[in-house]
Structures are given as structure tokens and as C-alpha cells.
């Protein structure tokens, strides 16, 4: 599988570790950077490039990494066609794929060991989307909103307060 990775300075060491491990496992890795550690860098240039790679490459996956992973998840989700999920356990990584058909996983390098992060990424890459109608319906609502900006109808023609 082709896997795009991007990080900031806080995630740089973990990104380098995951690049090497994913290559060892036979994945085609696209490293969107940074190429070198810079304690003053910003994550958007690297994370957005990784996310754009995933959006333009159906069947690929992405891994974005920062200190907490929160900003990286937010940035990746700004790219049309990306569904990025923050994983903090194997179960959240699994559910991101199974229920949300997430194509990018975000990790906090300051929150987990390299071994834990490897496990989260492995689970994420191995888990298929369930294809269940309820999940597909929800993803389609979000995709339609992303394209049109129109809110989905409320259930039963209801209204908000």
C-alpha cells in the first residue's frame, strides 16, 4: 500500500521511525517531510501535502504526526476527500477505519511510544471499512456537505431549537 507521511518538529523522530518500519513491511512510502529536524517548523506545509497525496491517490493511506496529533488531524481534514482520525489506542485506529472509512490517521508523538504508534498504524492499515449502510450513509452526508456546503436534512423533517 502507498502511505503518505507528514509531521512537524515534534513528530519528526516518530515519522522517521515509521517511514523505515513501513518500508521494511513492504509499503510504498511517500515522505512529505520535513526532511530535516527544525524546532521552529510548522506542520501545515507537510501535513497538507501528505493529505493531498492521499486525496489524489485512491486506495492509499496517510499518517500525520505532531506533538498531540490534534493540529495535524485538523489540517488533514481541510483537504477535500480526506477523513482523518486521531488515534490514541488500537481500538480508535480500528474504529476510524471500520466505521468512518478514515484514510488518514493522526498520531501524537508526545503521547505514545514508537512501539504503540507502530501498533496503531498497523491496525489502521490492516482494518477494512465495514461497508455497513449506517456508516456509508453518514460518510455520504459528510461528503455531500464537503462538496456543496448544504447541511443534511434533519431526521423526520425535524427542526433545531
Residues carrying an active site annotation: 72, 99
- The SS3 of residue 19 is helix
Q: Using CA atoms, how far apart are residues 152 and 128, in angstroms rounded to an integer? A: 26
Residue with cell 522517521: 16
Q: How far apart are CA 144 and CA 93, in angstroms?
A: 24
Q: Strand 61-66's sheet: what is its strand order?
A: 28-31, 2-7, 61-66, 104-108, 84-86
User: What Rg, from alpha-carbon coordinates, does the chain have?
Assistant: 16
Q: Are 4 and 62 in contact (CB under 8 A)?
A: yes
Amino acid at each position: 500500500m502507498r502511505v503518505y507521511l507528514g509531521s512537524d518538529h515534534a513528530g519528526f523522530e516518530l515519522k522517521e521511525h515509521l517511514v523505515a518500519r513501513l518500508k521494511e513491511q513492504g509499503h510504498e512510502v511517500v515522505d512529505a517531510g520535513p526532511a530535516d529536524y527544525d524546532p521552529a517548523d510548522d506542520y501545515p506545509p507537510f501535513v497538507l501535502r501528505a493529505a493531498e497525496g492521499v486525496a489524489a491517490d485512491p486506495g492509499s493511506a496517510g499518517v500525520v504526526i505532531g506533538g498531540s496529533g490534534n493540529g495535524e488531524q485538523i489540517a488533514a481534514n481541510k483537504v477535500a476527500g480526506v477523513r482523518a482520525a486521531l488515534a490514541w489506542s488500537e481500538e480508535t485506529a480500528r474504529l476510524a477505519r471500520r466505521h468512518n472509512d478514515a484514510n488518514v490517521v493522526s498520531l501524537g508523538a508526545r503521547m505514545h511510544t514508537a512501539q504503540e504508534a507502530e501498533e496503531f498504524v498497523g491496525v489502521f492499515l490492516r482494518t477494512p471499512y465495514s461497508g455497513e449502510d449506517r456508516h456509508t450513509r453518514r460518510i455520504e452526508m459528510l461528503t455531500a456537505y464537503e462538496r456543496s456546503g448544504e447541511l443534511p436534512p434533519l431526521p423526520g423533517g425535524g427542526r433545531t431549537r
